[in-house]
Amino acid sequence: MFEGKLIVFSAPSGSGKTTIVRHLLKQEHLNLAFSVSATSREPRGTEQHGKDYYFISLKDFKQHIKNEDFLEWEEVYRDNFYGTLKSEVERLWAQGKHVIFDIDVAGGLRIKRKFPEKTLAVFVKPPSIDELKIRLKKRKTESEDKINMRIAKASVELATAPQFDHVIKNYDLQAALKESEELVANYLNVEKKEV
């Protein structure tokens, strides 16, 4: 079976990692497929099961943990679990794709530790904590309490940046997209497309 590479993008909520990952998925020459994470939380907004996340009950999530079905998992907030199912990565490798992750910092570092030879771990750094708060408020998907929890967590997550292979400063989105694309293309050893 094709064993592709693993490309991990991690960052505090609101840093822009999802925007970067979506951009990279559109670059056909990179041959990437998105690893859909599992979560025990409820869907937000227009999120769809199987596309944005695999939404599973808390009870089922805990059963998957017992069965060792996850490459990595994390209780991000109380009774709010996220994880990467082994079957998801195997499914994407079976399609001949490299797997890209949009994943929290702890999960990203776990994947890097588990597969050090085949993982590129990238940390997306926001301009500042203040800018992060503005971005989270603009989303209008969470309460003030949730936003404050995310901001508190972001301070801790920012300290982990040096543990990643590369840090992309997302101060200017176009520059961050270009840097991300070049970084991934170099890691995968693929030719840059002609523009």
Q: Domains of the chain, with CATH numbers? A: 6-186 (3.40.50.300)
Looking at residue 195, what is its pLDDT? 45
Owner of token pair 């840090």: 167
The 8 Å CB, 24+ separation contacts for 156-164 are 157/10, 157/11, 157/12, 157/104, 157/105, 158/12, 158/125, 158/129, 160/105, 160/109, 160/123, 161/123, 161/125, 163/109, 163/112, 163/121, 164/10, 164/108, 164/109, 164/112, 164/121, 164/122, 164/123
> Could you give the 3-state DSSP secondary structure of residue 130?
helix
Torsion of CA 152, 76, 86, 8, to 10 degrees: -10
Between residues 167 and 195, the one the model is more confident about: 167
H/E stretch holding 8 reads strand 6-10
Q: Which of 3-7, 66-70, 145-149 has the highest mean pLDDT?
A: 66-70
Whole-angstrom distance, CA of residue 116 vs CA of residue 175: 27
Dihedral angle sign, alpha carbons of residues 51, 55, 60, 65: positive
Looking at residue 117, what is its pLDDT? 94
> Could you give the 3-state DSSP secondary structure of residue 174?
helix
Q: Which region among 18-22, 30-34, 101-105 has the lowest average model confidence (pLDDT)?
A: 101-105
Percentage, residues of the chain above pLDDT 90: 69
Q: What is the mean pLDDT of the chain?
A: 90
Looking at residue 57, what is its pLDDT? 96
Give residue-wise pLDDT tens across range 61-119: 999 999 999 999 989 778 899 999 999 999 999 999 999 999 889 899 999 999 999 99
Percentage, residues of the chain above pLDDT 70: 97
The conformation of residue 39, written as its DSSP 8-state character, comes to E
pTM: 0.86
Length of the chain: 195
Looking at residue 1, what is its pLDDT? 59
Compute CA distances 77 → 32, 80, 142, 165, 194, whole Å: 29, 5, 14, 26, 44
